[in-house]
Amino acid sequence: MWAKLTSDPRTRTYLQQPDFVRMMQDIQKNPNNLDFYMKDQRVMQAFGVLLGMKWDTRTPEEGVKMPGGSPERKRRAESEPVKEEKRAGYKAQPVPQPEPVEVSEEEKELKERKVLALKEKEAGNAAYKKKDFENAVQLYTKAIELDDADISFLTNRAAVFLEMGKYEDCMKDCDKAVQRGRELRSDYKMIARALTRKGTALVKMAKISKDYEPAIETFQKALTEHRNPETLKKLNEAEKAKKELEQQEYFDPQVADEEREKGNQLFKEQKYPEAVSRYTESLRRNPKDPRTYSNRAACYTKLGALPEGLKDAEKCIELDPTFAKGYTRKGAVQFFMKEFEKAMETYQAGLKYDPQNQELLDGVRRCVEQMKKTSRGDLTPEELKERQAKGMQDPEIQNILTDPVMGQVLADFQENPKSAQKHMKNPLVMNKIKKLIRAGILQVK
């Protein structure tokens, strides 16, 4: 509204007039007040601009062309001297003046009450900031009694009740604000604010009742009115709290162990999908058991679901970094994904905690064999193509190939053998070259 009034030259100057601004603000807060100001020509002009209609409310004295008056006649009349009327008995008639706009006593009283209500609200705001909540409630209550057409008084009082821990009173005020706001067609942002405040009170109560669903529903309603980032954040927090509560209520380590044992038996019987279901149920009952993640990772590996297996193996290591099985599971997945260098690093990390673990040692041996095979160029064309494609997806390999220094090094290896010998003395360069060889990108013949 203000942007349109500012951009139109017919109403731009009105915005510098405080009484006009106050009238428009009053209409904006309560559209029913429009009837009080319809007699003001500036208001009519403003609504013409807002509605896209070319209303011209100027009087003839302000320069409006009147019927029958041409520009030539007007200029001639202005240039000619005024002639006195010679008719006998002529008496000049006074120019009629516009009648003053009469304001009823009821309208005056309404305006006065609105002014007083705003003063009470400002005093309530000051008391709220000082944490003088009892006084703030009284002041907001007076404002509501003086003017029930401004729902901000209700939402402000609801905020005070929320701080005081009077959640039922807070929600009642929020419900009144929503109902009254819909009756008055108030700004949707104000209605959303009332719903968000009610949702906040419901979250506080949910910590005792253990029921977050009413709060979640209220936040969702608020978002349909206005998608406020703060409301969305509160909704996410409520949903997270509900999920955590459900997990706590479902938590049962004994049942989790029983489900894991059932999964182990199914794994031995090579019924891998059924075993995954049992392990998943076990994790619902106890999501902090690294053994179950390790076992489910083994199932996923057998099923060829390598990304899922890798995720479970990493979770296992996260829960217990000293658990060797987590490293054997992760290394096995990486080996099957033909990421031999990463698998080697995983196996070596596990050996730090269990140096004599045979599975980890065997994993290192298998990785060394594969990397030597690549270095010797013993791969079939299909294997080499697959290895190169895999390597090109590795961000580290991509960084090496886009490094200008390494570009010059590789060029020297092909064109200037003597200069290449100097590069071989640099440990960092050699390490990068070995990575390229192991990835199949660079072949030494």
- pLDDT-wise least confident of 9-23, 207-221, 431-445: 431-445
Range of the structural domain that residue 218 is part of: 108-249
Whether 168 shows a pLDDT value over 80: the answer reads yes
Cα 159 to Cα 155: distance, rounded to the nearest angstrom: 6
Looking at the 3D structure of the chain, how many domains does it have? Answer: 4
Confidence at residue 356, expressed as pLDDT on a 0 to 100 scale: 93
Q: Are residues 444 and 394 in the same domain?
A: yes
In a domain, 392, yes or no: yes
Q: How confident is the model at residue 176 (pLDDT cuts 50, 70, 90)?
A: very high
In this prediction the pTM is 0.48
Q: Are residues 20 and 118 in the same domain?
A: no
Domain boundary (223, 249, 275) is at 249
Residues 6 or more apart whose Cβ sits within 8 Å of residue 442: 410, 433, 436
Q: How confident is the model at residue 13 (pLDDT cuts 50, 70, 90)?
A: confident
In a domain, 440, yes or no: yes
In a domain, 84, yes or no: no
Q: What is the separation of C-alpha 399 from the centre of its chain, rounded to a whole number of angstroms?
A: 33
Q: Are residues 320 and 396 in the same domain?
A: no
Confidence at residue 439, expressed as pLDDT on a 0 to 100 scale: 64
Residue 36 Cα distances to 58, 103, 158, 185, 210, angstroms: 20, 8, 31, 18, 51
Whether 43 shows a pLDDT value over 50: the answer reads yes
Residue 84 Cα distances to 90, 105, 240, 402, angstroms: 10, 47, 90, 98
Q: 282, 259 in Cβ contact below 8 A? A: yes
The string of pLDDT tens digits covering residues 59-89 is 433 443 434 444 444 444 444 444 444 444 5
Q: Are residues 35 and 112 in the same domain?
A: no
Percent of the chain with pLDDT over 90: 51
Residue 436 maps to which CATH number?
A: 1.10.260.100
Whether 241 shows a pLDDT value over 80: the answer reads yes
In a domain, 75, yes or no: no
Q: Are residues 328 and 438 in the same domain?
A: no
In a domain, 119, yes or no: yes
- pLDDT-wise least confident of 238-252, 261-275, 325-339, 421-435: 421-435
Average per-residue pLDDT for the chain: 83
Q: Are residues 116 and 169 in the same domain?
A: yes
Q: Are residues 279 and 192 in the same domain?
A: no
Domain boundary (187, 218, 249) is at 249
3-state secondary structure of 379: coil
Domain boundary (359, 391, 418) is at 359
Confidence at residue 158, expressed as pLDDT on a 0 to 100 scale: 96
In a domain, 81, yes or no: no
**Average pLDDT estimate for 440-444:** 61
Confidence at residue 63, expressed as pLDDT on a 0 to 100 scale: 41
In a domain, 68, yes or no: no
Whether 380 shows a pLDDT value over 70: the answer reads no
**Average pLDDT estimate for 140-144:** 94
**Average pLDDT estimate for 196-204:** 96
In a domain, 292, yes or no: yes
Q: Are residues 135 and 157 in the same domain?
A: yes
Residue 193 maps to which CATH number?
A: 1.25.40.10
Number of helices (H) and strands (E) in the chain: give both, helices first: 25, 0
Cα 155 to Cα 139: distance, rounded to the nearest angstrom: 13
Q: Are residues 387 and 261 in the same domain?
A: no
Whether 390 shows a pLDDT value over 70: the answer reads no
Q: Are residues 294 and 332 in the same domain?
A: yes
Q: Are residues 205 and 237 in the same domain?
A: yes
Q: Are residues 124 and 212 in the same domain?
A: yes
Pick the residue with more confidence: 93 or 167? 167
